[in-house]
Amino acid sequence: DVKVTQSSRYLVKRTGEKVFLECVQDMDHENMFWYRQDPGLGLRLIYFSYDVKMKEKGDIPEGYSVSREKKERFSLILESASTNQTSMYLCASSPSSTAGYTFGSGTRLTVV
């Protein structure tokens, strides 16, 4: 089975800090995605990547950036964390654009 691992389950950061959320998949998947999930708003796509060093903006990229230096790792970066970025962050991967997603267990980020 594909495994998608997110480095932290819970994270508390201060306003203004630079925050890195890491995601690693072990099945050589081409595509990787970052979503955030908020009550009443569902899952919203932040960024995605179809290949190493490639990135595409999703629906809500403002305040975030990403890095994909290696195929298996997709990092989400909050350049200067703000309280409105308190959320559940979910990483997913898929082998192709016509295949299903596998999600990691999520990182619950609190910005204080």
Partner 1 sequence: GIQVEQSPPDLILQEGANSTLRCNFSDSVNNLQWFHQNPWGQLINLFYIPSGTKQNGRLSATTVATERYSLLYISSSQTTDSGVYFCAVDTGNQFYFGTGTSLTVIP
Q: By CB under 8 A, which span of 14-22, 61-69, 72-80, 101-109 interacts with partner 1?
A: 101-109
Show the tokens assigned to 88: 């559940």
Q: By CB under 8 A, which span of 19-27, 68-76, 79-87, 90-98 interacts with partner 1?
A: 90-98
Q: Which of 42/83 has CB closer to partner 1?
A: 42
CB 103 within 8 A of CB 5: no
CB 47 within 8 A of CB 58: yes
Binding to partner 1 by CB under 8 A, coded x per residue (else -) over 48-87, reads: x-------x-x-----------------------------
Q: How far is the CB of 53 from partner 1 (least distance, A)?
A: 18
The bridge status of strand 107-111 relative to strand 10-13 is parallel
- Count the neighbouring beta carbons within 10 Å of the beta carbon of residue 18: 10
